[in-house]
Amino acid sequence: MTMLLDLITGYWWDARDLSNMTRPLYEFLRDQGVSDAGIFVISALLGTLAIISFVGAVAIINIWVERRVVGRMQSRLGPNRLGPFGLLQPIADAIKLMQKEVLQPASAPGWIYTVAPIAFTVPGIAILAVIPWGRNMVLANLDVGLLYILGLSSLAVLSVFMAGYSSNNKYSLFGAMRVIAMLVSYEIPIVAGLLGIVLFAGSMNLQEIVLFQEEHWAFMIMLQPLAFLIYFFSISAELNRTPADIAEAESEIVGGYHTEYSGMKFGLFYAAELINAVAVSAIIATLFLGGWWTYKLDEFIPGWMLLIGKIYGVYFIFVWTRGTLPRFRIDQLLAFAWKWLTPMALINVIVVAAEVLLWNETGWSDWFWIPAIIAINTALCVGLIVFFVKVFAPKFQRFPTRPRFYPGIDVPSLPAVTPPDFARKGGPA
């Protein structure tokens, strides 16, 4: 193994870090008399093109992955006609959407209708700028990386409202207003949950957060299991995916905010959802699962390949929840955000602050503190979830006597219903 590693270490074909390939190129250009500004532009363009081609490939491949995996989970075949295993289905979809007649309602004029799908796509791509793909492979190493991510991902609210309001359709408006209420509510647990990570790493730079995990030899998901759960649930609401897809609930409000969209504009909404899902998976993989660092494994396998593997692992869980879970009602969703996730996230922040304080003030070694923090935070995660379930879950009633969510209304109990005797042998009568 070491012989094999010697064969690539220190040469330009060392693909474990793609900057090994670009550095000789920049040196060559500098020798040719290209100025620093020119090299900056070339390096930025190379990185940008790499990310854009990744996004394009992902948008095409994930249409197939999503439909195929959900199909298998629901005992269907999924697309299987075009090409081997239906692999050409996304291309056929794209051609079909491209040459479809554009239907724009006559009563919904204006440029906002056209700009909305574009504005919906941009944040998902722009988020990928700060994701570190390797030790030297990051397009924009921003010190405010996490803030950049949070700011961009909250832009989705605006584009959804642009789409819903400019369509001049009542279903679209309902969908848009629901999404805004939901996104705005789930913004708080996301922001408060990620605060714990910033406290541990002492930085909002994503590369620094990965290096923190490398230095302390622990994935952030071990140190922050509660923050991971909070972030995962909240972000699947932000993505309008199935446990929380009240925005486009087909059985209630037709298509939600994109009811009036057709052709390529609808296709952009569809592709943007997949791109956003991958961008969010990349954030989860970087913040919680170590990013490009995976114990000793990243010395043999390129870190960016490991990161892509982790991204697809997280993405599979998103698809899994979509394939199996039913939809929440909007009052349940908002109550979940405000009454469960927000206090949990704030308690988590206080506990993490206390831990970091003790860690710094006592001066004991990491060999004591890292396992201790893992144990404390896992216990906190389990304890808080059990506590909230015990205290706040509505009491189970086999025969409800009044509406559960508004105790003020008194409904007389139903006299006609007598509970059958289930305990008797032979089952219900």
Burial label for 272, CB within 10 Å (0-12, 13-18, 19+), is: buried
Nearer to another protein, 30 or 339 (CB): 339
Q: In the complex with another protein, which residue's Cβ is closer, 144 or 301?
A: 144
What single letter denotes the amino acid at residue 354? A
Question: At its nearest, how many Å lie between another protein and the CB of residue 81?
Answer: 24
Task: Work out how close the CB of 85 gets to another protein at its nearest, in angstroms, rounded to a whole number.
Answer: 25
Q: What is the closest distance, in whole angstroms, from the C-beta atom of residue 8 to another protein in the complex?
A: 27
Nearer to another protein, 80 or 168 (CB): 168
Residue 114: count of CB within 10 angstroms of its CB:
13
Decide if 193 contacts 145 (C-beta within 8 A). no
151 vs 400 by CB, closer to another protein: 151
Cβ–Cβ < 8 Å for 54, 131: no
Supply the minimum distance, in Å, between the C-beta of residue 320 and another protein. 28
Residue 308 · residue 53 · CB < 8 Å = no
- Tell me how far, at minimum, the Cβ of 16 lies from another protein, in Å: 22
The nearer residue to another protein, 215 or 299, going by C-beta atoms, is 215
At which residue do the structure tokens 């509406």 appear?
A: 403
- In angstroms, give the least distance from the CB of 355 to another protein: 10
* Shorter beta-carbon distance to another protein: residue 69 or 244: 244
Q: Nearest approach, Cβ of 73 to another protein (angstroms)? A: 29
**In this structure, what DSSP letter does residue 41 have?**
H
Per residue in 135-166, is it b (16+ CB within 10 Å) or e — as a string? Answer: bebbbeebeebbebbbebbbebbebbbbbbbb
Which tokens is 321 given? 């929840």
Q: Give the residue with the Cβ less far from another protein, 317 or 358.
A: 358
CB nearer to another protein: give 18 or 128.
Answer: 128
Alpha-carbon distance of 210 to 282, in angstroms, equals 13
Closest approach of another protein to the CB of residue 187, in Å = 6
Cα distance between residue 60 and residue 310, in whole Å: 19
Q: Count the residues in the chain.
A: 429
Count the neighbouring beta carbons within 10 Å of the beta carbon of residue 102: 10
What is 111-137 written as a DSSP string? SHHHHHHHHHHHHHHHHGGG---SSS-
Collapsing DSSP states into helix, strand and coil, what is residue 327? coil
